[in-house]
Structure 1
Amino acid sequence: MPDRTRSVATAGVVGALVALVVALGAANPPTRTPVATDRLGPDSGEPVAEYLDRARASLADTDTDTAEHWALVSLTAELTDADAYRLAVGAPGDPASRVRVSELLFRVPVERVQTPLVVVGVAGPESAARAADVAAGRLQGSAGEWDRQARVDAVSAARLSADCACVVGMTVRGDPEALRALAATPGVRSVEALPADAVFGRFAVVPLLPGQAETVAPGPDDGDVPAR
């Protein structure tokens, strides 16, 4: 085959391949990469007032939105699992009643002792009422990395088994109107919403603790660990 003929043939093949790739791309457009780096909750060292402003702004950004969003609810004081669930879902007919609770966040308050955060998934009022027992079971199975941590886990598990008021926050899902109604509910300190395209399981959740008043920082961990 003469060189000119071979070149024309090659160009034709390349052109056909390009056209095929373009056609396949049009028929199968790339899917949007889901949100994978989101985080709910305050940053370490962040002033509490700034975080509360940021949480309010996240709801203001949804004024014209009707899609459901994942959100973090931080509480003014620790609650039992059942009370926290009832607070989140509200009374029938209230906008907040459209909120669905996905996770309860437990942290046993012990003066001057750092206790672990335990996240338990829930699927309704019955599972929410058992969530503290689930959290206790997870800590009872923990050997602890050292003796003090083992004792902290043991006292946390014991108090959770006794149905302590130890819920500090919740992960919920709801439309903007419902989330704003929840944010205005007594006992709720803040509600921070993610963009509507956030994917559950691909964002971190760190609640604003009831005892954090000025700056988000770990409290002291120099107190005696009680036996129970």
Structure 2
Amino acid sequence: MPDRRVPAWRGPALAAVAVALVALIVALGVLNPPRQDGVSTDRLGPDQGEQVAEYLARARDSLAGSDADQHWALVSFTEPVAPEQIPAHSSGMRIAEVLYRITLLRVQTPLVAVPVPEGIGAAVDSAQYAAWLLPRPTNDRAARIVAVSAERLRAGCACVVGLVVRGPLAELRNLAARNGIRAVQALPADAVAGSFAVVPLLPEYRDVVLPGPDDGPVPAP
């Protein structure tokens, strides 16, 4: 595999670009608030405590319709994938956000959402941004979790757990039927960027959407 390490001088620049993208998405939401009679939900993904089967049915129902409009949609995977596998899991649609989370046995790790500009290359390279966007730790355990998360993200781990894409319902339905795709949930066509939360259906959620235990040892980076 070619060496994808990023020079040290690019780190702060990558972080600055990522922060600017987040600010842009927030600004879009402020400047274009959703109409009161429009979007019926402000969330993509399952609710805390929701039965997985119920969410999967809800996601399927969200893809019904015959309009040709563009829809924001959440793509959740059966298993985490590596960044270079993103093109095969997006069906050529515009990717707006890549969701990362490393998996550690019996350890709760942070979810990182990386907004990306148009172009599949930006999505594939987004793991470097994710490492810079990890939350600031508040205690020693959190610091060790952030350290190992950053190290694995920079190494290109199979840690992509979802994507936010934009496309028509017909293409979203085709994507939902592909191998490796667990669910695709779409918002109404009039949903506005920045006006909805995103929480992926993590692969470890099997029966109910609840966090697992957080009593395992944190490995060294």
TM-score where L is the length of structure 2? 0.80
Name the counterpart of 2:9.
Answer: none
Q: Distance in 2 between matches of 1:121 and 1:81?
A: 14
Alignment counterpart, residue 59 of structure 1, candidates 54, 59, 63: 63
Structure possessing the higher radius of gyration over alpha carbons: 1
Could you report, residue by residue, the CA deviation over 1:116-145 in whole angstroms, capped at 9, with x for unpaired residues?
000112222221121111111223xx5401
Name the counterpart of 1:120.
Answer: 114
Name the counterpart of 2:160.
Answer: 167
Give the Å deviation of 1:181: 0.5
Q: Distance in 2 between matches of 1:196 and 1:71?
A: 10
RMSD: 1.6
Give the Å deviation of 1:37: 5.2
Could you report, residue by residue, the CA deviation over 1:160-210 in whole angstroms, capped at 9, with x for unpaired residues?
011000000000000011000000110000000001110011100000000
**Is structure 2 residue 60 aligned with structure 1 residue 78?**
no
Give the Å deviation of 1:100: 1.1
What residue identity is the alignment partner of 1:132? A
Are the aligned partners of 2:86 and 2:124 in contact in 1 as well (CA < 8 Å)? no
Name the counterpart of 1:135.
Answer: 130
What residue identity is the alignment partner of 1:46? E
Give the unaligned 5+ runs of structure 2: 1-33
Could you report, residue by residue, the CA deviation over 1:15-58 in whole angstroms, capped at 9, with x for unpaired residues?
xxxxxxxxxxxxxxxx9446495100000000100000000011
Give the unaligned 5+ runs of structure 1: 1-30, 90-96
Are the aligned partners of 2:51 and 2:208 in contact in 1 as well (CA < 8 Å)? yes
Alignment counterpart, residue 49 of structure 2, candidates 45, 48, 53: 45
Percent identity among equivalent residues? 55
Give the Å deviation of 1:66: 1.1
**Is structure 2 residue 203 aligned with structure 1 residue 210?**
yes
The number of residue pairs the alignment matches comes to 186
Bigger helix fraction: 1
